[in-house]
Structure 1
């Protein structure tokens, strides 16, 4: 994997980790040997050797964010590759060692151009793939997407995006009740692209049909989809219960109440929940005015909302969350550090087929985050180099 790396410190070759989260659980006192950006060896050693760098606290897999739009004042929806790299660097510093870049709804010409800008970053490994969150969304659940640019997933539109991506598309969000949606889901899946059910006003039947057609992800579960009613359940119970689905949760305590996050994790289990940020350009920036997909956004107390015609705050417009903050939020709910690592790294990596990512094991990427007992990020290592 080729990425831009800091050069101020030499890459460590051996680390002694006080507490290490591996695919089989927590291990104490582990000596990691790193080579060529990979984990070359992993051995129990009770005490740190004198010539080895000691890592206190918890060493967990580097975070994997499969849904984020930008951060640090920078946007992935751009024709400037350096702008995209700056957004990636911001989230890397906050623990995201693997990321899909999400694009909001735009006209097809613009999306194709944006894909063309980002695709080289996928091919060099700086990004793990691209996520198209639009334009195949329900106008009734559009959220922070421009309604006039929403279109049905016609075969022509689907094929044009697949051709533009040329193997770099990792995921596309589709409202399954739209005309042609089921055929589009099958076409994307056949093209190697994961399909997510989201921004949907469809019901439980629409959700089941989407899964049978090949959809395997729920875009930010609960948000921008028909809510649960005791006589009209909608898509949420289906997506929570079906073993084929990984459900995204925005772990900021604003998009979802703490109790709802805990309920969803209990219902789906650690192997089917992916922590995401849905972060936008304002992440890590002061409160104020920003844009998302050409729409005006106001951020107050770290909460991003669209600006209505009268100037008042409207629908939620992405988040200002980092994976580091999301990880600590999960721990604050009572999740163990290994449990939070499942949601922030292992599960999204495995469900999206990101081999060598999301776990700490021999042969895997030397992508690590160090957190304290409260889940607060202390250090980040990517490809064997401290960030």
Structure 2
């Protein structure tokens, strides 16, 4: 089946062009400028961007991945799909090992089905000093046997593992990640600059929500933030929700780090898209007030209520990014992290037709996954 979308502002890596594109068998076959040849589905000059890729998301729409429920996982995927996320990792949080393995086993089935791009373990091998919204009593140092069990539980679908490189055994775990084809991410860490660089030298290639739950940047103690920002081998995650980071800090990162190494993520939990109230994040109780999620009793920030379309919008409207730059950090860079940039992440001939149609105010008008509308225009 062939579909032509016409009268669109198409955002490609090299600019924004008024034109058209053709889709056949779920893939983009032509991208042209000006009027479309023959009849096409007119988009009224709306903006077309690549489907968003979220490599760090726990939940949304009242449901979450850490619950270990297939029904909740499916609802989470559907909620974020409505907001333009066409590819996502399912992020788990620190929990007893049997619960983590059970949740990973369930999620592996949804990965095999194509609903999810993989599983992300955030913990339990993280720092108690920088644990944020993770339960300290469940944290531990990496064990080779445990680590192998967690990877095995994902049945080949574990794609990322966040750990603190200063923990005993953590560098060996980084090595195991790389050998297993899993992205090793530095996060929830009190590591020094030198400890962080040791992990990067062994293959750690992502900084989990940069600045958040990390040893702070100091002019004589540069820590993991500086290591991640200055090293070309590392992609830095940014939660652009106006809560996790001051907008000027995001401006600083965007000025210092090329967009090819910046990935906007939501770090969203169940409360995304829901009214204020009380929620669960794995084994933790979370209170959401004025859209901000914190551990019950006014504790640490506990994920976000962000969606990728809002992160994209903030990038343009608050941080002054161009549309191609915003598409880079919400689609192509995270696709590169997952090793999927040959298939998704940009509007390029031969790639899957994962598309988000945006109105002039950058709100979502329609969403397409592999050439099929999941939210109709």
TM-score (normalizing by structure 1): 0.93
User: Contact 2:147–2:173 (CA<8 Å) still a contact in 1?
Assistant: yes
Note the alpha carbon deviations across 1:2-46, whole angstroms, 9 max, x for none: xxxxxxxxx87111142112233322212x1112221122233x2
User: How far apart, in 2, do the equivalents of 1:375 and 1:328 lie?
Assistant: 6
User: How far apart, in 1, do the equivalents of 2:11 and 2:72 lie?
Assistant: 34
Q: Return the match for 1:329 from 314, 325, 343.
A: 314
User: How far apart, in 1, do the equivalents of 2:2 and 2:74 lie?
Assistant: 24
Note the alpha carbon deviations across 1:265-299, whole angstroms, 9 max, x for none: 11111100000000000000010111112111110
Equivalence for 2:353: 366
User: Contact 2:236–2:261 (CA<8 Å) still a contact in 1?
Assistant: yes
Equivalence for 2:191: 202
Matched, 1:52 2:40: yes
Unaligned runs of 5+ in 1: 1-10
User: Contact 2:7–2:35 (CA<8 Å) still a contact in 1?
Assistant: no
Shift of 1:351: 2.4
Matched, 1:113 2:102: yes
Equivalence for 2:326: 340
User: How far apart, in 2, do the equivalents of 1:263 and 1:374 lie?
Assistant: 25
User: How far apart, in 2, do the equivalents of 1:84 and 1:162 lie?
Assistant: 19
Equivalence for 2:247: 258
Shift of 1:235: 1.1
Q: Return the match for 1:293 from 279, 282, 287.
A: 282
User: How far apart, in 2, do the equivalents of 1:364 and 1:96 lie?
Assistant: 16
Equivalence for 1:246: 235
Matched, 1:140 2:129: yes
Note the alpha carbon deviations across 1:158-213, whole angstroms, 9 max, x for none: 11112112210010001000000001100111001001000001111111011011
Give the direction of change, closer, same or farther, for the CA distance of 1:271–1:346 in structure 2 (3 Å limit).
same
Equivalence for 2:19: 29
Equivalence for 2:258: 269
1:196 alignment partner, SS class: strand
| Range that drifts further, 54-63 or 172-181 | 54-63
Note the alpha carbon deviations across 1:317-348, whole angstroms, 9 max, x for none: 00000001111010111101111000000111
User: How far apart, in 2, do the equivalents of 1:35 and 1:151 lie?
Assistant: 49
Give the total of aligned pairs. Answer: 371
Q: Return the match for 2:78 from 56, 71, 89.
A: 89
User: How far apart, in 1, do the equivalents of 2:207 and 2:194 lie?
Assistant: 15
| Range that drifts further, 156-165 or 90-99 | 156-165
User: Contact 1:12–1:384 (CA<8 Å) still a contact in 2?
Assistant: no
Unaligned runs of 5+ in 2: none
User: Contact 1:71–1:91 (CA<8 Å) still a contact in 2?
Assistant: yes
User: How far apart, in 1, do the equivalents of 2:309 and 2:121 lie?
Assistant: 24
Shift of 1:57: 2.2
User: Contact 1:78–1:117 (CA<8 Å) still a contact in 2?
Assistant: no
User: How far apart, in 2, do the equivalents of 1:23 and 1:339 lie?
Assistant: 8
Matched, 1:315 2:304: no
Shift of 1:52: 1.2
User: How far apart, in 2, do the equivalents of 1:206 and 1:258 lie?
Assistant: 28
User: Contact 1:69–1:101 (CA<8 Å) still a contact in 2?
Assistant: yes
Equivalence for 2:28: 39
User: How far apart, in 2, do the equivalents of 1:260 and 1:378 lie?
Assistant: 30
Shift of 1:378: 2.3
